[in-house]
Structure 1
Amino acid sequence: MTRTAKLLLAASAVVAALALANPQGGYQLVAEACDEESATYQIVDPDGSPVNLPEEVSENLDCAYGVDLAPGGRFLLYPSFDADGRETLHVFDLALGGETDRATLPPAELDALGYAWSEEPIRFAFAPADRLYPQFYRVFVYQISEEGRLLPVGVYDLRLKLAESGEALAGESFYLADAYTLMWRTWREYEDEPAGPDTLQMLKLPPDRP
């Protein structure tokens, strides 16, 4: 099962239950499978009513991937492409109804994005499969400020143990134990192949960004 398929299964479960307000009173993401590689997303408010988003946002939620809500349900993350094919990650503040920041993403062989989250402060890690790194994956870690700004925490080249799908899967190949600890699965140094016995590694992340 691919990373996208796993995300879509989780999304289908959300659809079946249909998004009630979370304990923090934030917005929620509802997804419906579009095809094998993507889903169509909708935002519902704390009362469960659909949110009308600007067209430039909603068009990037139709048959899309890499869409997620930060913990607390206020900030929406989604990728988009420009006319030259460059990919950008956007942060949209659902409470204020406007974009707060964006970051250009590196060229990636795999388009699907999966995020590993932490709270207090809100941070996320993701690892697009850069063509320059057939075994090492470049893991990006960002912090989202209270104003919705993307604050770079660090970029790390790691030998990630792939999931059964053959992809570097957020939450399985790597995750954030807390806002200051990045965990990842790799294989033993003396093994030549990623199929060797795996081991769990830990990296301490820098303190809060101002």
Structure 2
Amino acid sequence: MDARTFWEETYEKQSPQTSGKPSAVLERFVAGRPVGRALELGCGKGDDAVWLAKGGWQVTAVDISETALGYARANALRNGVQDNIAFAAHDLDTSLPGGTFDLVTAQFLQSPLEFARDKILNRAAQQVVTNGLLLITTHGSRPSWSSAPEDMVFPTPAQARDALGLDMSRWKTVTVDNFERMATGPKGEKGSVIDTVIALERI
């Protein structure tokens, strides 16, 4: 199955309802920063884009799924920030929006299908302006409700950063670390999970 079909079918099975809350890492590392232009890779139902727009950011939010983008546009409309967000469909393996950005955010841009994630993030990083922020969060542990193999090995934060292939002489490290939080599974399960966070400022 190709990625577009997979994600269309995934979102078609879901409710358009959202949590109404931004990703914890996005809120933690972006709150209080000077606002500007933001690029969100894999916007899903749009809660992060809406939160950014409410804070004054001009957001370009992309996803491969038109269904997800429909949910996200409705989310933006409900919150009165539709004029601050440009939603666009992109298969990130083949295209990225043009322009430069003060923030590039990729919160759990992960897939059970193979795709060139590190190369995509490297290309997107080149669009971050001086003093801008690259913020990437990935799963750093397997929650108890996951269908992933129990012996699944997760990269260390440093390994995840190095896999991006960035010229680190052009970046200042804000954090490259693991953070633990409590999460809720699809059936209401509660458990501790680890997020691997890479936050870098362009210099």
* TM-score by shorter chain over 0.5: no
Write 1 or 2 for the structure with the bigger share of helix.
2
Identify the structure with bigger relative contact order (alpha carbons < 8 Å, sequence gap 6+). Answer: 2
Q: Which has the larger radius of gyration?
A: 1
Which structure dedicates a bigger proportion of its chain to strand? 1
